[in-house]
Chains A and B, each alone.
Chain A
Amino acid sequence: MVDSDGQLFTIEGIAASLILLLTAYIVVNGTSVYTPGDTHISNTQLEVTGSDALAMMNTAPDGLTTKTPLQTFVEQGDSAGFSSMFLNIINNRTGSKPDGIQFLANVTYVRNDNTINSTFLSNSSRSLYGGEHAVHVSQWIIVEKRIPEDALVRKRAELVEVTLWRD
């Protein structure tokens, strides 16, 4: 003999569990807590902005034959030219107020004894003090120039490295 006196309680139990579950679902979906471990999300966005800007600057206007703006800036050490073009690309946005991304750019090259060295290329108006949460992007280029340790003008593989941060 099965006693079925408790059926209403069972239904009530199911209803209560559904309500609990729904509440838990809404709570989990409705809020997101931004923890220090999540900073890589905004960092990734800044990195994408920076590498896209460098990739655009390393594209020749006619596609192939002429030098890219980035190659020209590095070959001539044109700090002001790099700064103005790079800031223009990364800080422009819809509307009148520009974004406040700052940068510091270095060029890394290889000396004849196979050691590497980085020299200053350009920066924005603010200096990097060390407290900023900066990200790092880079762009490979082939340039035709001399380096401080070697007077020979020849093709060289160099790496433009840019540190980016929001001010």
Chain B
Amino acid sequence: MARLNEDAQWIVLMGFIVSFSLFFLAIVLNQSVVVGQTTAEAVSEFPKDDIRGVRDVVIQSVFMDALNKTAVQREIQTIALTRQGSVMSFSNTTDGIHTFLDFHYNNGVTAYNETWIYP
């Protein structure tokens, strides 16, 4: 080894350092683009409007008379399943003062559960 020329070792070392830092920065840049996109997609694909809409009609159905209520709730479950691909389950109880509505929504990707209390 003693006869090898070692003049350029610093250049080689710096070359390594520079290339690694370049590589690292490229990864950071790359990830920042992907992170922004996946976050935006996750937000826009959350079925906000579906949940709000079905929650709204379920709450309306709680205050109907018995005949209408049974029929309307069956219709809500059927339409949610066939047209929006979501499974709905809900039931309401009362303690004499408050009405408690247990509300479960699942479309295979997003699950939403809520207990709605009135008043």
Contacts and interface: CB of A to CB of B under 8 A. Distances in A.
Interface of A: 2-7, 9-10, 13-14, 17, 20-21, 24-25, 28, 40, 44, 51, 55, 108-110, 114, 116, 137-142, 154-159, 161
A13 B14 contact: yes
Contacts of B56: 140
A138 B84 CA distance: 9
Interface of B: 6-11, 14-15, 18, 21-22, 25-26, 29, 33, 41, 44, 49-50, 53-54, 56-57, 60-61, 64, 67-68, 71-76, 78-79, 82-84
A60 B18 CA distance: 66
What is the interface of chain B mostly: helix, strand, loop, or mixed? Answer: helix
Contact of A137 (B6, B49, B67, B83): B49
Given A3-B7, A21-B22, A109 B57 contact: no
Contacts of A24: 26, 29
Report which residue of A2, A116, A157, A159 has the largest number of chain B beta carbons within 10 angstroms of its beta carbon: A157
Contacts of A154: 67-68, 71
Contact of B78 (A5, A28, A51, A110): A110
A22 to B, nearest CB: 11
A10 B12 CA distance: 9
Given A17-B18, A110-B78, A141 B57 contact: yes
A51 B49 contact: yes
Nearest to B26: A24
A28 B22 contact: no
Contact of B82 (A5, A25, A116, A155): A116
A136 to B, nearest CB: 10
Contacts of B15: 13
Contacts of A110: 74-75, 78-79
28 contacts: A3-B9, A4-B10, A5-B7, A9-B14, A10-B10, A14-B14, A14-B18, A20-B22, A44-B44, A55-B49, A109-B79, A110-B74, A110-B78, A138-B83, A140-B53, A140-B56, A140-B76, A142-B57, A154-B67, A154-B71, A155-B71, A156-B71, A157-B57, A157-B73, A157-B75, A158-B75, A158-B79, A159-B84
A110 B81 CA distance: 12
Given A139-B53, A140-B53, A156 B7 contact: no
Nearest to B79: A159
A40 B43 CA distance: 13
